[in-house]
């Protein structure tokens, strides 16, 4: 996909194995099919998430490439929210798979979380994520600037009463990325993330490579004096 600069919107473009169309959801672009390549996209003033890749049951979603896109939030001096690129194997489901994802050479600025990877999310009182798998995920040579969190990877996340168990994040490669001026965390990898005490158990992260990434602290948070 390639296009001219455009504003973020609450109506997203859905690409799946059976359809291409729009739906009133928060992300601008949702990829739910294998062998999709997204490149050359320029998206400005994104209020929520710009690009979401979501897994599927059975053979799952595989071979997706998100390369050389430019994404920016609602403004340099505004509260940072939403996400640049998010990948999730499954939300409130069981046995969904997301494999062989490449996120490379993107420029993301002024977002809440620039890049995030999760195997399973359980959300809401009835939400339950079980045995979802995200594997062979490569995050390479991206430039992330002025975000709250640079990159985050979790096997599972529970939100607002939802539960998550036996989810797997495997073979996560984070290489040659440049993370500039994160207000909170530059890089965070963990088995679980919970919100409001949601139950999680038996989630696993294995095979993580962190190599040649650079992190720059905002001047206001550093002991050094700016030039």
pLDDT for residue 77: 60
Measured between alpha carbons, how far is 226 from 199 in angstroms, rounded to an integer? 44
Confidence label for 8 from pLDDT (cuts 50, 70 and 90): very low
pLDDT for residue 7: 37
Bridge-based pairing of strands 12-16 and 20-23 is antiparallel
pLDDT for residue 219: 62
Measured between alpha carbons, how far is 205 from 49 in angstroms, rounded to an integer? 24
Bridge-based pairing of strands 6-7 and 42-44 is parallel
| Matching residue, tokens 């919107």 | 9
Q: What integer is the mean pLDDT of 18-35?
A: 66
Q: What integer is the mean pLDDT of 131-142?
A: 98
Assess whether pLDDT exceeds 50 at residue 3: no
Assess whether pLDDT exceeds 70 at residue 223: no
Tens digit of each residue's pLDDT (9 = 90 or more) over 44-102: 888 778 999 999 999 999 999 999 999 998 866 655 667 899 999 999 999 999 999 99
Assess whether pLDDT exceeds 70 at residue 28: yes
Residue 126's nearest CA partner among 98, 158, 155, 96 is 158
Residue 178's nearest CA partner among 71, 67, 76, 104 is 104
pLDDT for residue 46: 81
Confidence label for 151 from pLDDT (cuts 50, 70 and 90): very high
Tell me the C-alpha to C-alpha distance, in Å, between residue 61 and each of 1, 69, 102, 175, 178: 18, 21, 12, 23, 28
Assess whether pLDDT exceeds 90 at residue 183: no
Residue 132's nearest CA partner among 55, 53, 33, 34 is 55
Sign of the alpha-carbon torsion through 17, 20, 26, 27 = positive
State the average pLDDT for the chain: 84
Cβ distance 97 to 66 under 8 Å?
A: no
Q: Is 13 exposed, middle or buried (0-12, 13-18, 19+ CB in 10 A)?
A: middle
Measured between alpha carbons, how far is 7 from 206 in angstroms, rounded to an integer? 38
Q: What integer is the mean pLDDT of 98-125?
A: 94
Residue 106 pairs in a beta bridge with none
Q: Could you give phi then psi for residue 195, rounded to 5 degrees?
A: -125, 125
Assess whether pLDDT exceeds 70 at residue 218: yes
Confidence label for 162 from pLDDT (cuts 50, 70 and 90): confident
Measured between alpha carbons, how far is 89 from 131 in angstroms, rounded to an integer? 10
pLDDT for residue 4: 38
pLDDT for residue 154: 94
Cβ distance 106 to 84 under 8 Å?
A: yes
Collapsed DSSP state (helix, strand, coil) of residue 220: helix
């Amino acid at each position: 996909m390639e296009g001219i600069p455009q504003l973020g919107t609450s109506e997203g473009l859905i690409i799946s194995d059976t359809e291409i169309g729009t739906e009133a959801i928060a992300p601008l672009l949702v990829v739910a099919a294998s062998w999709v390549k997204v490149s050359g996209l320029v998206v400005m003033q994104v209020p929520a998430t710009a690009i979401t890749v979501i897994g599927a049951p059975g053979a799952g979603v595989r071979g997706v490439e998100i390369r050389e896109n430019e994404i920016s939030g609602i403004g340099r001096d505004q509260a940072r929210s939403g996400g640049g690129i998010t990948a999730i194997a499954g939300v409130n489901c069981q046995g969904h798979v997301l494999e062989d994802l490449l996120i490379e050479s993107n420029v993301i600025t002024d977002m809440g979380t620039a890049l995030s990877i999760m195997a399973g999310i359980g959300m809401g009182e009835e939400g339950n994520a079980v045995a979802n798998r995200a594997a062979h995920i490569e995050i390479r040579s991206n430039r992330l600037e002025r975000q709250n969190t640079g990159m985050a990877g979790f096997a599972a996340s529970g939100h607002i009463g939802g539960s998550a168990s036996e989810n797997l994040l495997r073979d996560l490669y984070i290489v040659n990325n440049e993370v500039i001026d994160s207000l909170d965390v530059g890089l965070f990898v963990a088995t679980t993330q919970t919100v409001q005490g949601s139950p999680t158990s038996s989630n696993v992260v294995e095979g993580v490579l962190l190599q040649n990434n650079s992190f720059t602290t905002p001047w206001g948070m550093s002991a050094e004096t700016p030039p």
